[in-house]
Amino acid sequence: MNDTYLELVNSGFTKQIAKKLGLPRPARLRRTDPRRVDDPLVPGPVVVVGEGPDADAVATGLLAWDLDVRRTVAVGTRVGAIVLVLTDIVDPTQASQRVLATAGMLRDLAPSGRVVTLSRAASAEDDPAVAAARAGVEGLTRSLGKELRAGATANGLVVADGVALEVPAVLGALRFFLSARSAFVDGQLLPVDGAGAAPQDWTRPLEGRVAVVTGAARGIGAAIARVLTRDGARVIGVDVPAAGDSLSAVMNEVRGVALQLDITADDAAERVIEVARARFGRLDLVVHNAGITRDKLLANMTPERWDSVIAVNIAAQLRMNEALLAAEDLAPDGLRIVSLASTSGIAGNRGQTNYGYSKAAVIGATQALAPRLARAGGTANAVAPGFIETEMTARIPAVTRQVARRLNSLQQGGQPVDVAEAISFLASPQAAGVNGQVLRVCGQNMVGR
């Protein structure tokens, strides 16, 4: 669905009126094309701010991608991205020089530019000064995300002690945050606790992998199928028989396999496994995208509304996951599971107690499943979308919809491709060091975490 307001405030005379009146002026974000293999990184030089071996390692890694990497720039130089390396600080006072050097470049940050912080994870076992220095980076990053304009974003990588900055998991996550693939990810801190593996082709990291996507007939599910295919995967799309025509159209487009199936059926998992074995002999990735809403205030909630949401949004996932874990030979390189959570499961939402419960449950299940998958080389992660422009959000009353769009740092709704890009990243080899995490794709909602 188009955001008419966004188009108006970025066009001619109405742009000037909005500026004079102090109205929100969301920018047109630099996004990817879900059907075309390209990997647009940053629109200008990348400045690495930091000292010592860690900053040197990051700069060297970025140079391998033919980026214009610099350690300093003259005032007035248009900057595509700033990478602020704070992994080596052991006292809060040590951040000052680097943070203020970053501040001096912000006015020259290009539209849809990027600021990415790199820090180490704080622990209760740390010296208090060390813990303070590390934990402070979260407040810095989230606050900066709310200050940037013109589609620019601020995100951070929180790297576990013992994980070098030059490993694929760190560089791969950094690449994601620098690229147009993270257009609607803002103010997020992503923990990295493993090395990952470099893909043979950074623009097609899922080459040769097989993926199942539930709820693939339209909206976010269709976008996921397109992006995974673009990135090299072969896709089995699953949706209910009532969406059969739409599902067939999407699968024909991506040359995938359409499987008409109600995921709440007792034999749903066995049918998915059977098709994967018969068509491809393997299954590397499962994307639990299928979900429904049945909104009502809890005082007016009926058993049908509550139970149907729980059945589709979480109970079906749990059954399928157990069956997939039992069929461990299907995933020779380790199974990746990415589940769709929601900001409603993190911050709550009026009239969505059933939906909020189910999506918080997805997060809990993901965190519990992660160590089990890790033992076989796999991962379990979740993506939590905020307001995304879909058929579902198009049914929200017009005024409420406009308010919802503006309640994030980017002052607009996301697109299905934004969610799909985050899922493809988490499914990629370089993200093997990210496990049990929830990546929000919400433009940094102004409410909740």
Cβ burial 4-23 (10 Å sphere, 16+ → b, else e): ebbebbeeeeeeeebeeeee
CATH number of the domain bearing residue 257: 3.40.50.720
Cα-flanking dihedrals φ and ψ of residue 414, to 5°? -85, 175
Same domain, 17 and 53: no
Assigned domain for 326 exists: yes
Catalytic annotation present for 355: yes
Distance, CA of 76 to CA of 45 (rounded, Å): 12
Same domain, 20 and 111: no
Distance, CA of 423 to CA of 406 (rounded, Å): 24
Angle at 169 between CA 378 and CA 131, to 5 degrees: 105
Assigned domain for 322 exists: yes
Q: Cα dist. 6→21, 83, 113, 243 in Å?
A: 15, 29, 19, 32
Both tokens assigned to 101: 């050097």
Same domain, 136 and 13: no
Same domain, 174 and 260: no
**pTM given for the model:** 0.94
Assigned domain for 201 exists: no
Distance, CA of 146 to CA of 144 (rounded, Å): 5
pLDDT of residue 40: 65
Number of domains in the chain: 3
Averaged pLDDT of the chain: 93
Same domain, 147 and 97: yes
Specify the DSSP class assigned to residue 300.
Answer: G
pLDDT of residue 92: 97
Assigned domain for 270 exists: yes
Same domain, 176 and 246: no
On the question of pLDDT at 446 being above 80, the answer is no
pLDDT of residue 21: 74
pLDDT tens-digit series, residues 200-215: 899 899 999 999 999 9
Both tokens assigned to 415: 């697109």
Distance, CA of 63 to CA of 4 (rounded, Å): 40
Specify the DSSP class assigned to residue 313.
Answer: I
Same domain, 283 and 430: yes
Distance, CA of 145 to CA of 153 (rounded, Å): 6
Report the run of H or E that residue 260 belongs to, with start and end.
strand 257-260
Is 174:145 a contact under the CB 8 Å cutoff? Answer: no
Is 362:348 a contact under the CB 8 Å cutoff? Answer: no
pLDDT tens-digit series, residues 52-66: 999 999 999 999 998
pLDDT tens-digit series, residues 325-384: 999 889 999 999 999 999 999 999 899 999 999 999 999 999 999 999 999 999 999 999
Distance, CA of 425 to CA of 433 (rounded, Å): 12
pLDDT tens-digit series, residues 172-225: 999 999 999 999 999 999 999 998 899 989 989 999 999 999 999 999 999 999
pLDDT of residue 14: 77
Instruction: Mark out the alpha helices in 184-310 (DSSP H runs).
Output: 219-230, 244-254, 268-279, 303-310
Same domain, 219 and 178: no
Same domain, 113 and 10: no
Report the run of H or E that residue 76 belongs to, with start and end.
none
Same domain, 215 and 302: yes
Assigned domain for 197 exists: no
Query: pLDDT tier at 448 (50, 70, 90 boundaries)?
Result: very low
For residue 319, the enclosing domain spans 210-441
On the question of pLDDT at 443 being above 60, the answer is yes
The one catalytic residue in 355, 357, 387, 425 is: 355
